[in-house]
């Protein structure tokens, strides 16, 4: 299934994310669920050269993203520690504007590994403990939301460290089907707040308040979310609280909409910032310790259509 063209994509007035546009929602929902993959293997793309993926390989990534907002890839000949490959692959997918966040390296790409020692007050969230369900950059400012993410495995852990993913559009469907008021509450501009990050009396990041679900200028659904019990403040009304509890329950049950995959060396995942989590893993110091690269972008994946000059955003 390819992304909808400009001729078939609903206009803004017919957005499936408009609670008043029930017919548009029903049609979009039916199409989404009918094309949802049965397993992560349907989303895997083999790439001969990550620095210069072929048109067929890029198209396969686009199809996977269109189905689940997630695409896995496997390099046939991985180069250890090849950050240049990651940057080139991102550019091939229309990903340019890196989020040079506090934990990123000098090139804007984060090296995810366990840090044994840190300076007092230094913010380094890299441990081998489990990471709960979230989207990346949920604490970012409204004009710096993370739209695209590439996670590349250089070295897996000896044991553990598997990831799980859920398409945020599926989460929207499950919430809306349960109670449309849940969507209305989670689209409110004050639905979820993140307290300021203060270290040694210095504010590193201001308080962030915003919606969980929003629709971007192109009419595509975006989500900012964290299941963390600490440092997340939900709007104090009964509907928002119930919506947050229902959303959390989606991750606490066996679900055909959750994909689990442990990245091996030379594998990676490309995502339109879908929901994800990570299990805990074994850790030992040295050159065999787990290492992944993460590139977070303010862009959503854009893939040129074969034979056309204009790219399209993968929906």
Cα end-to-end distance, the chain, whole Å: 11
Note the pLDDT of residue 1: 38
Region for residue 307 given its phi and psi (left: phi exceeds 0; alpha: psi -120 to 50; beta: otherwise): left
Those residues of the chain that have pLDDT short of 70 are 1-13, 80, 102-104, 116-126, 286-287, 304-315
SS3 234: strand
CATH superfamily of 12-313: Clavaminate synthase-like (3.60.130.10)
Identify the pLDDT of residue 124. 39
In the chain, where the domains are located:
12-313
DSSP codes joined into one string, 143-209: GG---EEEEEEEE--SSB--EEEE-HHHHHHHHHHH-HHHHHHHTSTTSEEE--EEETTEEEE--EE
Strands (E), 37-128: 44-47, 70-75, 110-112
Instruction: Quote the pLDDT of residue 4.
Output: 45
Query: pLDDT (tens digit, 9 = 90+) per residue, 125-177?
Result: 468 888 999 999 999 999 999 999 999 999 998 888 999 999 999 999 999 99
**Helix ranges, 187-277 (H):** 238-249
Tell me the pLDDT tens digit for each residue of 225-255. 999 888 899 999 999 999 999 999 999 988 9
DSSP 119: -
Q: Tell me if the pTM is above 0.85.
A: yes
Tell me if 213 sits within 8 A of 223, measured CB to CB.
Answer: yes
Nearest CA to 274 out of 71, 73, 69, 41 is that of: 69
Distance CA 16, CA 10 (A): 8
d(CA 172, CA 189): 17
């Amino acid at each position: 299934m390819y992304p909808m063209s400009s001729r078939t994509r609903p206009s803004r007035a017919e957005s499936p994310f408009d609670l008043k546009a029930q017919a548009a929602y029903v049609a979009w929902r039916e199409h989404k669920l009918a094309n949802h993959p049965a397993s992560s293997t349907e989303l895997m793309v083999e790439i001969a050269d990550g620095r210069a993926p072929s048109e067929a390989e890029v198209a396969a990534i686009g199809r996977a993203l269109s189905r689940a907002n997630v695409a896995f890839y496997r390099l046939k000949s991985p180069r250890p520690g090849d950050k240049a490959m990651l940057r080139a692959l991102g550019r091939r997918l229309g990903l340019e504007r890196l989020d040079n966040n506090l934990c990123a390296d000098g090139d804007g790409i984060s090296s995810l590994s366990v840090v044994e020692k840190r300076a007092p007050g230094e913010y380094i969230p890299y441990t081998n403990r489990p990471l709960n369900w979230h989207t990346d950059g949920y604490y970012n400012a409204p004009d710096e939301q993370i739209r695209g993410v590439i996670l590349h495995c250089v070295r897996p852990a000896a044991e553990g460290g598997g990831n799980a993913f859920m398409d945020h559009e599926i989460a929207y469907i499950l919430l809306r089907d349960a109670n449309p008021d849940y969507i209305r509450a989670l689209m409110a501009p004050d639905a979820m707040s993140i307290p300021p990050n203060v270290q040694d009396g210095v504010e590193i990041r201001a308080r962030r308040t915003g919606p969980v679900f929003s629709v971007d200028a192109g009419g595509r659904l975006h989500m900012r979310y964290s299941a963390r019990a600490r440092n997340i403040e939900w709007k104090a009304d009964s509907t928002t609280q119930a919506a947050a509890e229902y959303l959390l329950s989606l991750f606490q049950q066996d679900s055909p909409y959750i994909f689990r995959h442990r990245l091996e060396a030379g594998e990676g995942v490309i995502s339109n910032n879908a929901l994800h989590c990570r299990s805990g893993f074994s850790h030992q110091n040295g050159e065999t310790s787990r290492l992944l690269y993460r590139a977070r972008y303010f862009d959503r994946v854009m893939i040129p259509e074969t034979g056309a000059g204009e790219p399209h955003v993968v929906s």
